[in-house]
Amino acid sequence: MESMVSVSNDGVAEIFASDDQEKAGLNPRSGFISTGGAGLLNDLQPKIVSGDFGYILEDVPHLSDYIPDLPTYTNPLQYNPAYSVVKQYFVDHDDTVAQKIVVHKNSPRGIHFRRAGPRQRVYFKSDEVRACIVTCGGLCPGLNTVIREIVCGLHHMYDVTRVLGIVGGYRGFYSKNTISLTPKFVNDIHKRGGTILGTSRGGHDTKKIVDSIQDRGINQVYILGGDGTQKGAAVIFEEIRRRGLKVAVAGIPKTIDNDIPVIDKSFGFDTAVEEAQRAINAAHVEATSIENGIGLVKLMGRYSGFIAMYATLASRDVDCCLIPESPFYLEGPGGLFEYIEKRLKENGHMVIVIAEGAGQELLSESLSSIDQQDASGNKLLQDVGLWISQRIKDHFSKRSKMAINLKYIDLMYMIRAVPSNASDNVFCTLLAQSAVHGAMAGYTGFTVGPVNGRHAYIPFHRIIEKQHKVVITDRMWARLLASTNQPSFLSIKDVEASKTEINLHNC
Ligand SMILES: Nc1ncnc2c1ncn2[C@@H]1O[C@H](COP(=O)(O)OP(=O)(O)OP(=O)(O)O)[C@@H](O)[C@H]1O
Ligand SMILES: O=P(O)(O)OC[C@H]1O[C@](O)(CO)[C@@H](O)[C@@H]1O
Ligand SMILES: [Mg+2]
C-alpha cells in the first residue's frame, strides 16, 4: 500500500492520505498541495509517495490534481499498426525508475521517478490538442530533431494536427508571430544545426506568456532549454495551475554543457564531444609539427567541464585538461608552467584543453573584473583561452629560456552549431516521444530525461535545484588525471575538504 507524503518547508515528512486509487484508476493524483507561499518551491509542495522498504516516488503533477472529473480517452496508439503488435506497449501505471542503482543488500529502495512512456488512457482527444513548442537559451545540436519528433510524434501517434512553433524563445509568446508546424514542414530539419524556431535569453514574463497560451487556446506546451529555461517552465506551470487551466507543461532538457542534474546525459553532448575531437586532432598535428609546439583548445563549459573532460578522455592526445570545477595555478612548484616545461622537455610538444569557465578566479585577479551579465542574468565570462595563451607566451619568453610555439583554437561555437550526430538523433527522438506521451497522459510540470538508461518524468524542482558538475574526487576525474598525467593542482587538504563537502551534500 502506498501513501502520499508531503514534505514541509522544514523537511519534515507528513503522511496525509493513503489509497490504492493509482493502481485501480486513472484519476487519483491528489495530494499536490499549495501552501500559498512566495516562491515555487514554497508554493507547491513536492508530490512524494512512500512505499515499503524505503521506497520513495518523487512524482510529477497531473492535470487531475487541480481539475476534477477530467474525462479520459482510449489511447489512439492502440489502433496504430506499428505499435499495436508490441506485446506490452503501454507503460504499467506502477512502473517507476530508480535514481540509485548501485545498492547494498540492506539499502533502502530509495528515490524513484515515474517511468516515461505511453499510457492506456489519455486526457486529451486528438482534435482537442493545440500544442506549442519553444526553444530558449543557447544553441545545442539536436534542437531541430526534438522539434521534428514532437511534431511527428503528435501527428503520427496521436493524430494531433495543430502544433505551433513559438518564434524566438520565451519572449516570442507575446512579441512574435508563430509558425504552424506540420510533419511536411519539419521533415528535413534534423539535418540542420541551430533551431528553426530561433531562441533568446531573457524576456521571461510569466503573466504575458500564460496570457498568450490562454488566448491562443494552447493546451500542451513543450519547452526546450537549459537550467534557466526549466526554471521558467516551472513558473509557467505554476501560473497555469493557479489559473486552473487544462494545459500540460513538458520540459525537455537542453544543455550542451551537460549541467542538468538527475538525468544521465543531455542531448547534443555526444555530438559536441565528437566535434571537439576534430579540433584536438588539429591542435595535436600543429603541436607535433614544430619544436616545443603547444596546441591549446578552448571548449564550452560555463560551470561544468564535462565537454572538456570527455573530449580529453576520448582523444588521448591531451596532456592537460582544465575545467571550472578544478582550480589550478600557474606559477611555482606543482603549477601549470612547471608542468608545461616538464612535458615539453619529455615530449617536445603538448596539447591543452580548457573549458571556458576554467580559471575565472585567476582572470579576475589579473584583469580588472567586469561584472557583466547576459539578458538571462548569467555571468558573462572573460576569455580564458586568450588570457592563458598570453600568460604562457609571456612566461616562456620572459622567465624561461625555452622558445615555444603556441597555437590557440577557440572551438566554442563550432561544437554547438552543428547538427546532431546519429546517436543524438535517436536520443532526441526518444525524448520528444516521451514528452508527448506524458503530456497526452495528463502529466504536467515535468522534465523528461534518462535516469539510469530509462526515460522518466522528473518534477521541475529536482532539475532546477542545483547544477550537475564534474566531481573531482570521483573516479572519472581520476581516470582523466591518469590519462593526461597532469598535476591535480590539489593539496591533500583540498582533497579532504572536497570530500567533506560532497559527503555533506549527499546527506
Ligand atoms: N529563474 C528564472 N525564472 C524564469 N525564467 C527564467 C529564469 N532563469 C532563466 N529564465 C529564462 O529562461 C530562458 C533561458 O535561460 P538561459 O539564458 O539562462 O539559458 P538556459 O536555458 O539555462 O540554457 P543554456 O544556459 O544551456 O544556454 C530565458 O528566456 C530566461 O529569461
Ligand atoms: O554566447 P551565448 O549564446 O550566450 O552562449 C554562451 C554560453 O552558452 C553555453 O553553451 C550554454 O548553452 C555556455 O557554455 C556558454 O557560456
Ligand atoms: Mg543555463
Separation between Cα atoms, residue 126 and residue 75, nearest integer Å: 10
Domain covering 121-265+420-464 assigned CATH 3.40.50.450 in the classification: yes
CA of 208 to the centre of ligand 2 (A): 26
CA of 138 to the centre of ligand 2 (A): 5
* Coil vs helix vs strand at 48: strand
Label residue 176 exposed, middle or buried (CB < 10 Å: 0-12, 13-18, 19+).
Answer: middle
Separation between Cα atoms, residue 158 and residue 394, nearest integer Å: 63
Phi/psi at 296 (5° precision): -120, 125
Model pTM greater than 0.80?
yes
Which bound ligand lies closest to the C-alpha atom of 302? 2
Separation between Cα atoms, residue 486 and residue 421, nearest integer Å: 31
Q: Ligand 2 pocket by C-beta < 6 Å: which residues?
A: 137-138, 226, 256-257, 300-302, 356, 374, 416
Atom 19 in ligand 1: residue holding the nearest Cα: 137
Q: Which amino acid, 451?
A: V
Fold matches, 121-265+420-464 and 269-417:
yes
Half-sphere exposure of 472 (CA within 13 A, CB side): 22
Pocket residue to mutate for ligand 2, from 136, 195, 224, 300, most atoms within 8 A of Cβ: 300
Q: Where in the chain are the domains?
A: 3-115, 121-265+420-464, 269-417
* Coil vs helix vs strand at 424: helix
Longest dimension (CA), the chain: 80
Active site residue 257: yes
Q: Is the ipTM of this complex over 0.85?
A: yes
C-alpha grid cell for residue 171?
519572449
| 377-382: long-range contacts, CB 8 A cutoff, minimum separation 24 | 377/202, 377/228, 378/201, 378/228, 378/302, 381/302, 381/356, 381/357
Q: Ligand 1 pocket by C-beta < 6 Å: which residues?
A: 136-138, 169-170, 200-204, 225-229, 231-232, 235, 255, 376, 378
Tens place of pLDDT per residue across the chain (507 aa): 344 433 333 332 332 233 333 333 333 333 333 333 333 444 468 899 999 999 999 999 999 999 999 999 999 999 888 887 887 889 999 999 999 999 999 999 999 999 999 999 999 999 999 999 999 999 999 999 999 999 999 999 999 999 999 999 999 999 978 999 999 999 999 999 999 999 999 999 999 999 999 999 999 999 999 999 999 999 999 999 999 999 999 999 999 999 999 999 999 999 999 999 999 999 999 999 999 999 999 999 999 999 999 999 999 999 999 999 999 999 999 999 999 999 999 999 999 999 999 999 898 877 665 678 999 999 889 899 999 999 999 999 987 778 999 999 998 899 999 999 999 999 999 999 999 999 999 999 999 999 999 999 999 999 999 999 999 999 999 999 999 999 999 866 666 666 666 555 544
Q: Compute CA 30 distance to the chain's CA centroid, rounded to the nearest angstrom.
A: 29
Q: From the annotation, which residues make up the binding site for substrate?
A: 255-257, 300-302, 356, 413-416
Label residue 140 exposed, middle or buried (CB < 10 Å: 0-12, 13-18, 19+).
Answer: buried
Annotation: CATH topology of 269-417: Rossmann fold (3.40.50)
10, 94, 205, 257: the active-site residue: 257
